[in-house]
């Protein structure tokens, strides 16, 4: 796989004794300039290898939403966890977008898949970017442990779960807030997958967490935590969370699914529970 070009630091802000930073680099996989954010916790020694958590954000987001809204840095600093926040899609003038500028397709809506269809397939290779190219760049530029945790929200929850279930030896734990879990059977997923992957639904299973969990069956062992707000407007409309819990119960997988009255789909929900998620991951990092 071609290597990314060198990092350019765009900003750096002292934060809870560590640093919240933003970088850009040329992605060879996506063939565009990409940005990502990181929180680097304070360390006793520059030689310390940090545990890392990748956070995948949802529709319309960039690398900045989680960094500015979730309030994760305080606990990450305490636990010594590096937070890595990639963008949600390729970007740039040459990168195609939805013809009607729809929020659920194109820019900000990659669904973290490797597209196979025109006009998407040249740039929209986000699965390879998240699984291979970005971790390789992080390992080159920062001192991090080999295994990482992964988490996300909504479309990013789909990405985190799907990627973890496809790479159970690469990630020590996975968590999600209000995730799309069965994209083959909800409006958001069907729209995106039909454009990015084509109309043949046999090609969708590799990116569907319910299908992947069934495939893993009794071999599945990665610790999983999923939180869902019961006042989330998308909970029923997009079939969030519950279908995956049903599969977990079906195969006897001891994932933890929690439901919370009064909470919606917003970052108010994420910020209310992010500390619990970070402490969950810290047990395995």
d(CA 130, CA 134): 6
pTM of the model: 0.96
Concatenate the DSSP letters of all residues of 186-221 into one string.
SHHHHHHHHHHT-S-GGGTGGG-HHHHHHHHGGG--
pLDDT tier for residue 5 given thresholds of 50, 70 and 90: low
pLDDT value of residue 127: 98
Q: pLDDT at position 1, please?
A: 43
Provide the β-strand partners of residue 19: 14, 40
Catalytic member of 123, 158, 265, 277: 265
Instruction: Write down how long the chain is.
Output: 285
Of residues 5, 2, 26, the one with CA closest to residue 141: 5
What Å distances lie between residue 54 and 67, 96, 121, CA to CA?
12, 26, 24
Tell me how far the alpha carbon of residue 173 is from its chain's centroid.
13
Residue range 143-157: mean pLDDT, rounded: 97
Cβ count near 10 (within 10 Å): 11
Q: Which two tokens stand for residue 83?
A: 């937070």
Beta bridge partner(s), residue 229:
260
User: Residue 261 carries which DSSP code?
Assistant: T
Coil vs helix vs strand at 239: coil
Q: Spot the catalytic one: 27, 57, 110, 154.
A: 154
Give tens-digit pLDDT for 21-70: 999 999 999 999 999 999 999 987 778 899 999 999 999 999 999 999 99
Residue 28 CA to residue 5 CA, distance in Å, equals 8
Query: One of 57, 232, 277, 281 is an active-site residue; which one?
Result: 232
pLDDT of residue 58: 98
Residue 174 CB neighbours (<10 A) = 30
Which segments of the chain does DSSP mark as H helices, in order? 64-69, 73-79, 126-128, 134-141, 155-166, 187-196, 209-216, 234-237, 242-251, 267-282
Span of 10-14, 73-77, 95-99, 215-219 with lowest mean pLDDT: 215-219
- Among candidate residues 257, 255, 250, the one with its CA nearest the CA of residue 228: 257
- SS3 state of residue 164: helix
Calpha distance 190→181 (Å, rounded) = 12
Decide if 265 is catalytic: yes
Reported as a single tens digit per residue, the pLDDT across 90-127 is 999 999 999 887 899 999 999 999 999 999 999 999 99
Q: Is 154 a catalytic residue?
A: yes
Beta carbons within 8 Å of 138's beta carbon, 6+ residues apart: 52, 84, 144
């Amino acid at each position: 796989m071609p290597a990314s070009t060198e990092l350019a630091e765009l900003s750096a802000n002292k934060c809870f004794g560590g640093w919240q930073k933003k970088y850009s680099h040329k992605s060879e996989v996506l063939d565009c300039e990409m940005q990502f954010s990181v929180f680097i916790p304070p360390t006793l020694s520059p030689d310390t290898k940090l545990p890392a958590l990748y956070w995948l954000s949802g529709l319309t987001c960039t690398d900045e939403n989680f960094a500015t809204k979730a309030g994760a840095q305080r606990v990450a600093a305490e636990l010594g966890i590096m937070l890595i926040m990639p963008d949600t899609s390729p970007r740039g003038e040459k990168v195609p977008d939805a013809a009607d500028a729809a929020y659920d397709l194109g820019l900000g809506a990659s669904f973290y898949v490797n597209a196979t269809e025109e006009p998407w397939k040249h740039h929209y290779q986000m699965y390879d970017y998240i699984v291979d190219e970005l971790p390789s760049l992080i390992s080159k530029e920062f001192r991090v442990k080999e295994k990482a945790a992964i988490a996300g929200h909504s479309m990013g929850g789909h990405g985190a779960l799907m990627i973890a279930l496809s790479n159970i030896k690469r990630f020590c734990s996975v968590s999600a807030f209000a995730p799309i879990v069965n994209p083959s059977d909800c409006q958001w997923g069907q729209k995106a997958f039909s454009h990015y992957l084509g109309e043949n639904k046999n090609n969708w299973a590799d990116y569907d967490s319910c299908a992947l969990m069934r495939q893993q069956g009794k071999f599945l062992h990665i610790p999983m935590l999923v939180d869902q707000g019961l006042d989330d407007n998308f909970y029923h409309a997009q079939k969030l969370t519950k279908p995956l819990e049903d599969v977990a119960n079906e195969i006897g997988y001891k994932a933890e699914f929690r439901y919370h009255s009064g909470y919606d789909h917003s970052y108010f929900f994420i910020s209310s529970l992010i500390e619990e998620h970070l402490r969950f991951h810290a047990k395995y990092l």
